[in-house]
Structure 1
């Protein structure tokens, strides 16, 4: 975007003249100092982008108030939208929990004791439900190498859970009955 000659000087003059008023406007209406700072910076950024639209004299202040008002509205609308999405995600996560988190502490402990390499291959297979071929693409190895790594990681996890002494140490980890 190319600005006409003198645009920078004009914006600096507008900023010096109207910053205190826009600052007070934003601080009185925003929910936090960070939100107020965002409103102020966005207002003057819009003024820079639309420098030819900013009226002369005191009309410029009224124009900036209008911009700041819309910025605040968009900020609140975004916060409201994020809050609704966060609540929906919390509800979905709560509905998906089949086992209380406290019941999984021993599994988390055993998982955390694994090497990062074992944790990654198990997480991709179990949490992300990726196939060996897909995991191979993520990790940069062949599907065969993934299957071997996955088998060994399951064995180490089973051993960490105290399941290795049973007939098939990884069957329970795959959801099979022993």
Structure 2
């Protein structure tokens, strides 16, 4: 993320207020409705938090369900020394860390059948990242006090930021998100993670350095839905559907990146990206139909391929654009058609 982190949420460190305290007392007595009234205001932001940590919308939803079940079972031990929000984030973060340990034991990502050109960059580990529909993010990332804070919050769910975060060790990932994105105090984060404030400070320093190295400075993206964004998206749509690789390359930044999570291959620079498009994505006589949507605060498409000799387009995954000024700084390609229904697209 560029610039300063967003202003601290004043609810992050507050103690339990009188109305909430009454609900907590009722929940302790076994009142399920009171418990739901206590935790429901935090469900959506917990989902986004777990998505930042895990990179998967469905995995995040599963962890939120685990978190709320654990909170219900543990409500009797909640001593109100921290806010309900802080207590829930502690549970959710540790459930995410458990999930990440399980993910590290999964089999590596399958390689595609098609032959790819030699990549510019090869990640040491698969990039486990999926796009998130804007509809799940808008209520959370637009709460910041003022346009600068809202922009920073949107950056914190961008694919570029999340890809950088996914490259961090799990503990550093948690510290970076809790401190820089959610603005919890170092003492709170240390308590959540069972470590010391010095440990939090050291992990945060290392995480910031790693993320900064993976997020080169570039122009800001145009505002969502602005004339500037619509112009770039329209130009790209025309060029891609026409199979015009030269026109696409002319729209790219000098440090553009093309990635295909979870595959480790990446292509950096206009020449490498153009060669990939010409030899793989837009090869032969295949023509794409691009259905616009939005993911992670960015322009996105459902991809459909119309093979020669047929008029029926077949689903072919998703593509998300990262814009920088009037140009395209990254293309993120997802091959999994199962992602489409979450965006209201035909799979």
- TM-score of the superposed pair, with normalisation by structure 2: 0.22
Larger radius of gyration: 1
Larger strand share, 1 or 2? 2
Q: Which has the higher contact order (CA 8 A, sep 6+)?
A: 2
Larger helix share, 1 or 2? 1
